[in-house]
Amino acid sequence: MSDILRPVLTFVALLVVWEAAVRGLAIRPFYLPAASVVLADLWSAPSLYFHAVVRTLTETLVGFVAGVLFGLACGTLFAHARFMERMLFPYFVVSQTIPVIAFGALIIMWFGNGLLSKAIIAFYLTFFPVTVNTQRGLSGVDEQRIALLRSFGAGSLKMFVKLRFPHALPSIMVALRLGISLSLVGAIVGEWFGDVTGLGVMLVHAMFNEHIARLWGVILICGLLGGALYSAVTAIERRYVFWRAEV
Amino acid sequence: MARGSLTRIGDSWPPVVGALLIIALWQGSVVLFKLPPYVLPGLGSILERMVVERTILLQGLAMTGAEALAGFAIGVAWGLGLAIAITMLPRMERPIMPLIVGINSVPVVAYAPLMLIWFGIGPASKIAMASIAVGFVILLNSLQGLKATDPAAIGLLRSFGAGSVRILTKLRLPMAMPAIVNGLRVGIVRSVLVVIVSEMLGAYRGLGWTIYESTQQTDFLRVWAAVFAASAGSLLLYGVLVAIDRKVVWWR
């Protein structure tokens, strides 16, 4: 219960501090409107916000889930096919040091301004880190443990289920946390190229109209969405992956 | 020695084969299936376009790179400064951390339109965006590193009469260095990314702007050329950072 109550109370406290700071310090609405003004804007157009959230959330989740599944498969393949790993894995690592989100522009040009193109952007942003961390987690298993299990007559599949995969999970979860944040970023940025609904679209429209209260409203919603998605991944991690990398 | 370098050559050929394989697959499918440029352009035509457009790409690279570096420097300064302040004044942590976590749970790109309105579509808004993105990475990494210092070592230094400033400079900061450097590496990549993404919303020049503009004109080759240039620039910055890190932080 306190797992839910604590963040809610913190959020309410932040809103109170926000309201008090704007009134107390007389901050200009051009920079930061009072929390009550921003909440009033949310209240004034609930269906607009709601549809935007549904759209962006769908793009994020579809891409994320597909990226996780494909990344797990690729990482497992790399961990078992050594030669393929040595040929291609370095490029997966390099991909994490370049702004791959820029390739999103090409995805939009190929697949148009629909839901699909954003899901694909979220997909590949998730797929790269999950592949890298799955491979690393699966390959980092202590050789002695493998030898021990093998001496008990465990085959490759049993070895994977009982030893390698559990060992890799903490490292995979790190990639999932990164992936969910990147997926949301990818979906929002992908919507800047001329879509019609979504949180990214609302951001662009509010910017062109210099509608500061709306802009902060979307930022607030983006923060809640980002926080909720991240917490969901960490909650799964705490619930199912209670062991650590050493075990 | 000779053996060592031989093994290294032996280790480095599979990635080369991998690269050749990717290039062959790419080029092969372009030629074999006669793919039009809007599906997949040949590598040759992308490189050719990069040469033709070298002036605008180099200008864009310089602009994007300068904005990313400036934002990176400001972000490192405030991130590290705040982390040190919180470590020195632990009572600040309880009230300030929820605020930091709250601001940081917003995907950083959502602040971009706001920065464009506040600071205009020139470089200032991109530098602001990069400094926000980098600052939080550095802050969270440094805090983790600064707090992980062995309490026994702190007690020992204190027993020799060291004040909290001395403990910070002689013990906490050196111990936190690996975590901070890790933050720097993540930070430089995020800095370039955030600048490019912000430029896509509006800019006078820069690679992100070139990418956005070319997308709207459906000039596929130009998008490819700009994306390649952005990747090369990001790799270069990252490489320089890693090289500096190897020279400066020799302890681990």
Q: What is the pLDDT of residue B47?
A: 93
Which residue has 């904005």 as its token pair? B67
CA distance A157 to chain B (A): 27
Mean pLDDT (chain B) is 88
Q: Does B12 touch chain A (CB under 8 A)?
A: no
| Contact: A17, B99; criterion CB under 8 Å | yes
CA distance A69 to chain B (A): 23
Whole-number Å distance between alpha carbons of A141 and A84? 19
Interface test mutation site (partner B, options A125, A189, A233, max chain B beta carbons within 10 A) = A189
Whole-number Å distance between alpha carbons of B3 and B6? 5
Q: Does B230 touch chain A (CB under 8 A)?
A: yes
Give B 60-89 residues with CB within 8 A of chain A. none
Judged against a pLDDT cut of 80, whether residue A229 lies above it is answered with yes
Euclidean distance between the first and the last CA atom of chain A, given in angstroms as a whole number: 30
| Contact: B231, A219; criterion CB under 8 Å | no
Q: What is the pLDDT of residue B129?
A: 97
Confidence of residue B4 (pLDDT cuts 50, 70, 90): very low
- Judged by average pLDDT, the poorest of A71-85, A127-141, A212-226, B161-175 is B161-175
Q: What is the pLDDT of residue A228?
A: 93
* Mean pLDDT within A195-210: 94
B30-62 confidence digits (pLDDT tens) = 888 888 888 889 898 999 999 999 999 999 999
DSSP 3-state of A199: helix
Judged against a pLDDT cut of 80, whether residue B139 lies above it is answered with yes
Interface test mutation site (partner A, options B46, B116, B117, B235, max chain A beta carbons within 10 A) = B117
| Contact: B109, A185; criterion CB under 8 Å | yes
DSSP 3-state of A178: helix
B76-91 confidence digits (pLDDT tens) = 999 999 999 998 888 8
| Contact: B110, A219; criterion CB under 8 Å | yes
Nearest C-alpha neighbor of B236 from the set A242, A94, A128:
A94
Judged against a pLDDT cut of 70, whether residue B6 lies above it is answered with no
The more confidently predicted of residues B109 and A152 is B109
Burial of A127 from C-beta contacts in 10 A (0-12 / 13-18 / 19+): buried
The more confidently predicted of residues B78 and A139 is B78
ipTM: 0.89
In single-letter form, the type of residue at position B228 comes to F
For residue A85, give both structure tokens.
């790993």
Whole-number Å distance between alpha carbons of A201 and A115? 13
B162-201 confidence digits (pLDDT tens) = 788 888 888 888 888 888 988 998 999 999 999 999 999 9
Interface test mutation site (partner B, options A87, A125, A224, A225, max chain B beta carbons within 10 A) = A87
Work out how many CB contacts closer than 8 A connect A with B: 136
* Residues A133-146: b if buried by 16+ CB within 10 A, e if exposed: bbbbbbbebeeeee
pTM: predicted TM-score of the whole model, two decimal places = 0.89
Judged against a pLDDT cut of 60, whether residue B251 lies above it is answered with no
| Contact: A189, B197; criterion CB under 8 Å | yes
Judged against a pLDDT cut of 70, whether residue B149 lies above it is answered with yes
Whole-number Å distance between alpha carbons of B131 and B244? 21
| Contact: B231, A86; criterion CB under 8 Å | no
A62-113 confidence digits (pLDDT tens) = 999 999 999 999 999 988 888 888 888 888 888 888 888 888 999 998 998 8
Judged against a pLDDT cut of 70, whether residue A221 lies above it is answered with yes
DSSP 3-state of A241: coil
Whole-number Å distance between alpha carbons of B112 and B114? 5
Q: What is the pLDDT of residue A46?
A: 93
Whole-number Å distance between alpha carbons of A183 and A73? 19
Q: What is the pLDDT of residue A1?
A: 52
Percentage of residues in chain A with pLDDT exceeding 90?
57
Percentage of residues in chain B with pLDDT exceeding 90?
50
